[in-house]
């Protein structure tokens, strides 16, 4: 079957009306549907990781953040490759193969979560393969930009990227529902610990019983539990009792601190301790789930769409070697556009990956703690919807003004998170405002994502092949967002239990990116009005 089109001239009105429009919109529909699955499979680890401790996987907080960070690292590198392969292999081959290869992570993760003895390195390797889904964007979007005339590029790119971004919400919305459905394999017992009820267990039990149960644990396990207590408290208690013995220190801790340390331990370990202290406690909640279904449900859709892509997609004849495509790096605007897109899409992807674990580790210790997956999908949903809506707006008012507005919105959100103590909370009363601010930041990232992708074809109007390359390159670097956000947020939480320092850094970077966009692309008399 023929892969390459003989002629492609979308700016020719007669060609567009007779032939081009039908092919372009068909290509957009198919590639957008596959892109939804790309984003969904890319971010599935961010929602699966939240559930792993409850199944008995003894991964640390830092390891869980690594599992949400690695897909971003992989996608960044793979997007760099995708940036340069479109002129070589063409739309048809790339989309068909890229869709089929995602069967590796979805099948692999499905089997991995069914065995609690699966080592961390296998999960890390599988997390890297989810980057296949993140890498597609840097060939899909340049492809779409070539299929449409200039007057429709903003609309087409906004539709594809916006609807494609819905894949993040699909992963985070479907997971809580699908894990109650058996697709393949047996159910697993998911354990959760209620912090409020845990406190009741300690209030209603004797110090002697608590000491007896804690003393029976291995020294390594005792140390892990005490690591959930802030070091100044441990040091203070140790000095007061004049002992370094773990059991003496634990039993001497304030009752609320002891309860919190147990509630924050691995749920299976906490279950054993609480049941030993009080066999009839109501702090332990056990439910049956099929976490493997969160991965396996992608399989039939990936197979169907890879077949459809092979039979119904064609490729635009735009031949260029990798060496020839390197000319984008000699243009300063490639680097300025990279900075602005890291601000917009990097923030969107980074927050999407880190949002569930931020909820878990910032607000999960309080009584009536929220379920991260109840809120997580709203952010990507809002960001994706605003990207679609403002794709049309960008075609009318230009992209630069939208990117500037986005920068101001992200900056305001970051400042509020820090100054209002929302990422260093002291009570659940702060949670509603925390969610509101984060969702507001998602909204602005969607506006900026629509704006930037409208800007690039105009900034590089003299060479559409370069414009396509820049779209791919900027998307590649911005795809490191989940890695940057997850790792730095995880490091902040491990070091001091807050995320203040990270969002101060976000504020500084956003200010820089917004200034660059305003100076070169937005202000009156700027170099490249767009």
Compute mean pLDDT per 10 residues along the chain, 530 residues long, and list them: 80 88 92 91 86 87 84 84 80 92 94 92 94 84 81 79 79 82 85 85 86 86 83 84 84 85 85 87 87 91 95 80 71 92 89 83 79 81 85 83 95 94 89 93 92 84 75 81 82 81 93 95 88
User: Are 413 and 477 in a shared domain?
Assistant: yes
Contact 4, 90 (CB under 8 A): yes
User: How distant is the alpha carbon of residue 214 from its chain centre?
Assistant: 38
User: Are 513 and 398 in a shared domain?
Assistant: yes
User: Are 173 and 314 in a shared domain?
Assistant: yes
User: Of all helices (H) and strands (E), which one includes residue 432?
Assistant: helix 431-459
> Domain end: 267, 286, 305, which one?
286
pLDDT of residue 321: 57
> Domain end: 286, 303, 334, which one?
286
User: Are 268 and 309 in a shared domain?
Assistant: no
User: Are 212 and 163 in a shared domain?
Assistant: no
Question: CA torsion 50→55→59→64, rounded to 10°?
Answer: -10
Contact 503, 511 (CB under 8 A): no
User: Are 204 and 334 in a shared domain?
Assistant: no
User: Are 353 and 388 in a shared domain?
Assistant: yes
pLDDT of residue 320: 60
Report how many domains make up the chain: 3
User: Are 207 and 242 in a shared domain?
Assistant: yes
pLDDT of residue 212: 87
**Domain CATH code at residue 47:** 1.20.1250.20
> What are the residues whose beta carbons fall under 8 Å from the beta carbon of 461, sequence distance 6 or more?
150, 467
pLDDT of residue 318: 67
Separation CA 26–CA 89 (nearest Å): 19
User: Are 402 and 475 in a shared domain?
Assistant: yes
pTM as predicted? 0.76
Residue ranges of E strands in 235-353? 284-289
User: Are 34 and 71 in a shared domain?
Assistant: yes
pLDDT of residue 145: 79
> Domain end: 272, 303, 320, which one?
320
Q: Give the domain range for residue 196.
A: 189-286
User: Are 127 and 172 in a shared domain?
Assistant: yes
Contact 172, 48 (CB under 8 A): no
User: Are 176 and 201 in a shared domain?
Assistant: no
Sign of CA dihedral 403, 343, 526, 324: negative
């Amino acid at each position: 079957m023929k892969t390459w089109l003989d002629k492609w001239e979308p700016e020719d009105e007669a060609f567009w009306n007779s032939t081009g429009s039908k092919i372009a919109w068909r290509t957009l529909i198919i590639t957008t549907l596959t892109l939804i699955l790309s984003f969904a499979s890319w971010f599935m680890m961010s929602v699966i990781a939240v559930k792993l401790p409850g199944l008995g996987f003894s991964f640390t907080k830092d390891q869980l953040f690594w599992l949400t960070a690695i897909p971003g690292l992989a996608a960044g590198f793979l997007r760099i490759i995708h940036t340069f392969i479109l002129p070589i292999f063409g739309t048809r081959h790339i989309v068909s193969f890229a869709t089929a290869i995602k069967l590796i992570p979805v099948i692999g993760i499905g089997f991995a979560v069914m065995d609690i003895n699966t080592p961390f390195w296998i999960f890390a390797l599988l997390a890297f393969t989810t980057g296949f889904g993140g890498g597609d964007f840097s060939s899909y979007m340049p492809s779409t930009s070539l299929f449409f005339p200039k007057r429709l590029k903003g609309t087409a790119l906004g539709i594809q990227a916006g609807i494609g971004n819905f894949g993040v919400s699909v992963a985070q919305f479907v997971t809580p529902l699908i894990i109650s459905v058996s697709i393949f394999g047996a159910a697993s017992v998911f354990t959760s610990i209620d912090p409020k009820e845990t406190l009741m267990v300690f209030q209603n039990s004797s110090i002697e019983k608590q000491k007896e149960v804690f003393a029976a644990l291995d020294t390594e396990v005792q140390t892990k539990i005490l690591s959930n207590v802030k070091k100044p408290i441990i040091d203070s208690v140790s000095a007061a009792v004049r002992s370094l013995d773990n059991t003496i220190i634990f039993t001497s801790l304030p009752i609320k601190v002891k309860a919190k340390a147990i509630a924050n331990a691995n749920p299976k370990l906490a279950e054993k301790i609480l049941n030993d202290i009080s066999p009839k406690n109501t702090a332990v909640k056990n439910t049956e789930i099929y976490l493997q279904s969160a991965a396996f449900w992608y399989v039939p859709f990936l197979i169907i769409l890879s077949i459809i892509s092979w039979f119904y997609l064609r490729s635009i004849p735009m031949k260029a070697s990798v060496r020839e495509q390197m000319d984008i790096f000699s243009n300063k605007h490639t680097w300025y556009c990279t900075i602005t897109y890291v601000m917009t899409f990097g923030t969107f992807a980074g927050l999407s990956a880190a949002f569930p674990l931020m909820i878990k580790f910032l607000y999960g210790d309080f009584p009536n703690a929220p379920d991260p997956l109840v809120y997580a999908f709203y952010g990507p949903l809002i960001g994706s919807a605003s990207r679609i809506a403002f794709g049309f707006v960008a075609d009318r008012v230009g992209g630069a003004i939208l990117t500037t507005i986005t920068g101001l919105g992200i900056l305001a959100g970051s400042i509020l998170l820090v100054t209002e103590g929302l990422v260093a909370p002291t009570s659940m009363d702060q949670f509603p405002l925390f969610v509101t601010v984060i969702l507001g930041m998602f909204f602005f990232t969607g506006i900026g994502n629509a704006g930037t992708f409208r800007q690039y074809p105009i900034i590089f109007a003299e060479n559409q092949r370069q414009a396509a390359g820049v779209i791919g390159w900027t998307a590649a670097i911005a795809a490191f967002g989940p890695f940057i956000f997850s790792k730095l947020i995880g490091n902040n939480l491990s070091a001091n239990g807050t995320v203040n320092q990270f969002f101060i850094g976000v504020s500084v970077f956003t200010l820089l990116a917004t200034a660059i966009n305003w100076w070169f692309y937005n202000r009156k008399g700027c170099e490249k009005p767009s």
